[in-house]
Amino acid sequence: MWLTRVSVQNPVFAAMMMFALMVLGLFAYKDVGVEEFPNVEFPFVIVSTNYAGASPEVVESDVTRKVEDTVNTISGVKRVISTSYEGRSFVAIEFYLNVPVTVAVQDVRDKIAVLKTTFRDEIDDPIVERYNPGSVPVLSLAFTSTTLPMRELSTYIDQKVSKRLQTVSGVGKVEILGAVKREVRINLKPQALQAYRIGVDEVLRVLQLENSELPSGTIKSGNQE
């Protein structure tokens, strides 16, 4: 009320104050930095772990939940978001804004360094990094089929769809998640191994040699190679 009363009693003073505020606003507007892609530090830390050949359920129980329980003990954590794929685990940790990103990353690395010593040998070392908006996919596509089995659909997407997407101008990377890969399970007979006096390691070595890909050279035909 006092501001209204002063303005009514002193109209010239009120007009001068309004003019001064407008001038200050113009100068402040000129000094405010405007960027299309400003450098913003998001209070997120990402923990990604590869577990080759493991189903999403196994990844969830053996990796994701353990990472969640570990990072939840860190001070300043606001929430934890996780996703488990086939052979891969992603855990995103959001911190409060008053926590420096460098401190958050270091705290997570310290905790994960202790946790990874309890993982199985088949599990790769977790990768801890700060959130980078540039690494987020610009476009995500989901595919379903009422006629093709999951394995055939995965093969079609890998050999046809992803190849077409990679030829699109501006596409840097195409990644397939959740695909079903063809696997062959070999059951060994202990009696046969003992009879031939060979071990499991020898069988594994032979299988790897027989299924290895070697360069076969190049063939030139006219201007083509």
Structural domains for the chain: 44-133 (3.30.70.1430), 137-209 (no CATH)
Q: What is the pLDDT of residues 37-74, one digit of tens each?
A: 566 677 899 999 999 878 888 899 999 999 999 999 99
Residue 188, pLDDT > 80, answer: yes
C-alpha–C-alpha distance, residues 129 and 39, integer Å: 17
C-alpha–C-alpha distance, residues 99 and 79, integer Å: 13
Q: Which one-letter DSSP state was computed for residue 126?
A: P
Q: Give the SS3 label for residue 90.
A: strand
> What residues form DSSP beta bridges with 81?
92
Residue type, 25: G
Q: What is the pLDDT of residues 103-126, one digit of tens each?
A: 999 999 999 999 999 998 889 999
Helices (H), 81-225: 101-115, 150-156, 162-166, 190-196, 200-210
Q: Which one-letter DSSP state was computed for residue 116?
A: G
